[in-house]
Structure 1
Amino acid sequence: MTVGSPTVPQRQFPSGAAYAEALQHTQLCFQHPELRGARPELTKLGLPRAISGAFASVFSLTSATSGHRYAVKCFTRYVPDQERRYQAISARLARLDQAELSQPWNLGFDYLPDAITVGQERYPVLKMEWIEAVTLSSWLDDNHGDRFAVDRLADRFAALTEDLSRHGIAHGDLQHGNLLVARDDTLRLVDYDGMYVPALSGLGGTERGHRNYQSPLRGNDDFGVTLDRFSAWVIFMSLKSIATDPALWNRLHEPSGEFLLLTEEDFKSPGGSTGLQTLLAHPDGAVSALADRVRSLAFQPLDLLPPLSDAIPKQRTAATTTSTPAPPMAAAPIGAGGLPGWMNGHVTPQAVPPQASPLGAAPDCFRTRTVLDVVTALLVPLLLTMAGLLFVAGGPMPPAGVAAPVVIAAAITMITWSRRVERARSQAVLAGLAKQLDQLDDPVKAAEELRKQKAKLDAQEEKRKAAYPKNLDKLTARYHAELKEAEQRKIRKQRDIDKKIGGLSEELRTALAKALTAKQTAYVRDQLERRLIAHSPPHGIGKMLAARLASVGILTAADFTGYRAVRNSSYNSVGAELKLRSGRFVNVLGIGEAKAIALDLWRKDVYSSAVARQPSTLHPTERRSIEQDSARRRAQLTSQRQNLEPAAEALRESARKKLEDGRKRLARENTLAGEDAARQRQVFSRRALTLQQDKALHSALSMSLDSARHRRRKLSYPRYVRFLYIGH
Structure 2
Amino acid sequence: MGPATGAQRQFPSGAAYAEALQHTQLCFQHPELKGARPELTKLGLPRAISGAFASVFSLTSAVSGQRYAIKCFTRHVPDQEDRYQAISSRLAQLDPAELSQPWNLGFEYLPDAISVGRDRYPCLKMEWTEAVTLSSWLENNHSHPFAVDRLADRFEALTRDLAAHEIAHGDLQHGNLLVASDDTLRLVDYDGMYVPALAGKGGTERGHRNYQSPMRGNDDFGATLDRFSAWVIFLSLKAIATDPALWNRLHEPSGEFLLLTEEDFKSPGGSTRLQTLLAHPDPTVNGLADHVRSLAFQPLDVLPPLAVAVPRPRTTAATAASAGSSSGTAAAPAAAGGLPGWMTGHVSSQAASTPPVSSITSPDGFRVRTLLDVATALLWPLMLAVTVLMLVAGVSTPPIGPGVPVLATVALTIFARSRRTERTRSRAVLAKLTSELAQLDDPVKAAAKLHEDRAKFDAAETQRTAAFPRAQDKLTALYHAALKEAEERKVRKQRDIAKKIDGLAEELRRALVKALKDKQSNYVRDQLGRRLIAQSPPTGIGPKLTASLAAAGIRTAADFTGYQSVQNAQYNSTGALLVLSSGRVVDVRGIGEAKAIALDAWRRHVVAAAEARQPAALSTPERQSIEQGITRRRAQLTAQRKAVEPETDALRAKARKRMEDERERLTRENTRAGDQARRDRQEFSRRTVELQQNSALHGRLSDSVEAAKLRQRGLSFACYLRFLYIGR
TMscore range, shorter length: 0.5 to 0.7
Q: Which residue of 1 aligns with 2:403?
A: 403
Contact 1:560–1:581 (CA<8 Å) still a contact in 2? yes
User: Counterparts of 1:42-53 in structure 2 under 5 Å?
Assistant: none
Contact 2:562–2:600 (CA<8 Å) still a contact in 1? yes
Q: 1:380 to 1:326 in 2, by over 3 A?
A: same
Q: State the 1:424 CA deviation.
A: 1.5
Contact 2:554–2:560 (CA<8 Å) still a contact in 1? yes
Q: Which residue of 1 aligns with 2:704?
A: 704
Q: Which residue of 1 aligns with 2:459?
A: 459
Q: Which residue of 1 aligns with 2:489?
A: 489
- Look up the SS of the partner of 1:617 in the other structure: coil
Q: Which residue of 2 aligns with 1:517?
A: 517
Q: Which residue of 2 aligns with 1:444?
A: 444
Provide Cα deviations, 1:119-171, integer angstroms capped at 9, x if missing partner: xxxxxxxxx95699xxxxxxxxxxxxx997235469934556646999xxxxx
Moved more, 573-582 or 511-520: 573-582
**Is residue 529 from structure 1 mapped to residue 529 from structure 2 by the alignment?**
yes
**Is residue 156 from structure 1 mapped to residue 73 from structure 2 by the alignment?**
yes
User: Counterparts of 1:98-137 in structure 2 under 5 Å?
Assistant: none
Alpha-carbon distance between aligned partners in 1 of 2:407 and 2:567, rounded to the nearest angstrom:
169
Alpha-carbon distance between aligned partners in 1 of 2:699 and 2:490, rounded to the nearest angstrom:
78
Identity %: 48
Q: 1:611 to 1:368 in 2, by over 3 A?
A: same
- The residue identity in structure 2 corresponding to 1:686 is R
Alpha-carbon distance between aligned partners in 1 of 2:449 and 2:500, rounded to the nearest angstrom:
75
Q: State the 1:478 CA deviation.
A: 2.1
Q: Which residue of 1 aligns with 2:426?
A: 426
Q: Which residue of 1 aligns with 2:498?
A: 498
Provide Cα deviations, 1:505-559, integer angstroms capped at 9, x if missing partner: 2222212211211111222222233334444456676666655655555544434
Moved more, 567-576 or 496-505: 567-576
Alpha-carbon distance between aligned partners in 2 of 1:428 and 1:716, rounded to the nearest angstrom:
16
Q: 1:402 to 1:160 in 2, by over 3 A?
A: closer
Q: Which residue of 2 aligns with 1:613?
A: 613
- Look up the SS of the partner of 1:338 in the other structure: coil
Q: State the 1:447 CA deviation.
A: 1.0
Q: 1:188 to 1:473 in 2, by over 3 A?
A: farther
User: Counterparts of 1:535-684 in structure 2 under 5 Å?
Assistant: 535-536=535-536, 550=550, 552-561=552-561, 581-582=581-582, 584=585, 589=590, 593=594, 603-684=603-684
- The residue identity in structure 2 corresponding to 1:410 is V
Q: Which residue of 2 aligns with 1:8?
A: none
- What residue ranges of structure 2 are gaps of 5+ in the alignment? 6-13, 29-33, 35-47, 56-70, 84-112, 122-208, 227-305, 317-333
Provide Cα deviations, 1:466-496, integer angstroms capped at 9, x if missing partner: 2222222222222222222222223223333
Q: Which residue of 2 aligns with 1:268?
A: none
Q: 1:329 to 1:679 in 2, by over 3 A?
A: closer
Q: 1:717 to 1:494 in 2, by over 3 A?
A: same
- The residue identity in structure 1 corresponding to 2:701 is L
Alpha-carbon distance between aligned partners in 2 of 1:717 and 1:369, rounded to the nearest angstrom:
15
> Which protein is bigger by CA-based radius of gyration?
1
**Is residue 413 from structure 1 mapped to residue 330 from structure 2 by the alignment?**
no
Q: 1:566 to 1:429 in 2, by over 3 A?
A: closer
- The residue identity in structure 2 corresponding to 1:348 is V
Contact 1:337–1:350 (CA<8 Å) still a contact in 2? no
**Is residue 355 from structure 1 mapped to residue 355 from structure 2 by the alignment?**
yes
Alpha-carbon distance between aligned partners in 1 of 2:604 and 2:661, rounded to the nearest angstrom:
81
Alpha-carbon distance between aligned partners in 2 of 1:565 and 1:701, rounded to the nearest angstrom:
131
Alpha-carbon distance between aligned partners in 2 of 1:415 and 1:318, rounded to the nearest angstrom:
81
Provide Cα deviations, 1:368-423, integer angstroms capped at 9, x if missing partner: 1212222323333233333334444x256648443333333333322222211112
Contact 1:106–1:189 (CA<8 Å) still a contact in 2? yes
- Look up the SS of the partner of 1:517 in the other structure: helix
Q: State the 1:692 CA deviation.
A: 1.0
Q: 1:714 to 1:611 in 2, by over 3 A?
A: same
Q: Which residue of 2 aligns with 1:695?
A: 695
Alpha-carbon distance between aligned partners in 2 of 1:397 and 1:570, rounded to the nearest angstrom:
168
User: Counterparts of 1:198-213 in structure 2 under 5 Å?
Assistant: none
Alpha-carbon distance between aligned partners in 2 of 1:428 and 1:475, rounded to the nearest angstrom:
69
- Look up the SS of the partner of 1:714 in the other structure: helix
- The residue identity in structure 2 corresponding to 1:351 is Q
Q: State the 1:443 CA deviation.
A: 1.0
TM-score, length-normalised on structure 2? 0.53
- The residue identity in structure 1 corresponding to 2:458 is D
- The residue identity in structure 2 corresponding to 1:496 is D
- The residue identity in structure 2 corresponding to 1:156 is F
Q: 1:380 to 1:580 in 2, by over 3 A?
A: closer
Q: 1:419 to 1:337 in 2, by over 3 A?
A: farther
Provide Cα deviations, 1:453-473, integer angstroms capped at 9, x if missing partner: 111211111122222222222
Cα RMSD over matched residues? 4.8
Alpha-carbon distance between aligned partners in 2 of 1:616 and 1:106, rounded to the nearest angstrom:
75
Alpha-carbon distance between aligned partners in 1 of 2:340 and 2:545, rounded to the nearest angstrom:
134
Provide Cα deviations, 1:590-620, integer angstroms capped at 9, x if missing partner: 9884x77766555444433322322222223
Contact 2:27–2:116 (CA<8 Å) still a contact in 1? no
Alpha-carbon distance between aligned partners in 1 of 2:49 and 2:655, rounded to the nearest angstrom:
32
Q: Which residue of 2 aligns with 1:342?
A: 341
User: Counterparts of 1:28-177 in structure 2 under 5 Å?
Assistant: 149-152=51-54, 156-159=73-76, 162=79
Aligned length: 460
**Is residue 379 from structure 1 mapped to residue 379 from structure 2 by the alignment?**
yes
Q: State the 1:439 CA deviation.
A: 1.2
- Look up the SS of the partner of 1:351 in the other structure: helix
Q: State the 1:722 CA deviation.
A: 2.2
Q: 1:436 to 1:491 in 2, by over 3 A?
A: same
- Look up the SS of the partner of 2:715 in the other structure: coil
- Look up the SS of the partner of 1:464 in the other structure: helix
Alpha-carbon distance between aligned partners in 2 of 1:419 and 1:478, rounded to the nearest angstrom:
87
Alpha-carbon distance between aligned partners in 2 of 1:673 and 1:317, rounded to the nearest angstrom:
21
Contact 1:534–1:543 (CA<8 Å) still a contact in 2? yes
Q: Which residue of 1 aligns with 2:64?
A: none
Alpha-carbon distance between aligned partners in 1 of 2:396 and 2:537, rounded to the nearest angstrom:
188
Alpha-carbon distance between aligned partners in 1 of 2:569 and 2:616, rounded to the nearest angstrom:
49
Contact 1:497–1:637 (CA<8 Å) still a contact in 2? yes
- What residue ranges of structure 1 are gaps of 5+ in the alignment? 1-88, 95-102, 110-127, 133-145, 167-185, 196-282, 287-309, 320-324
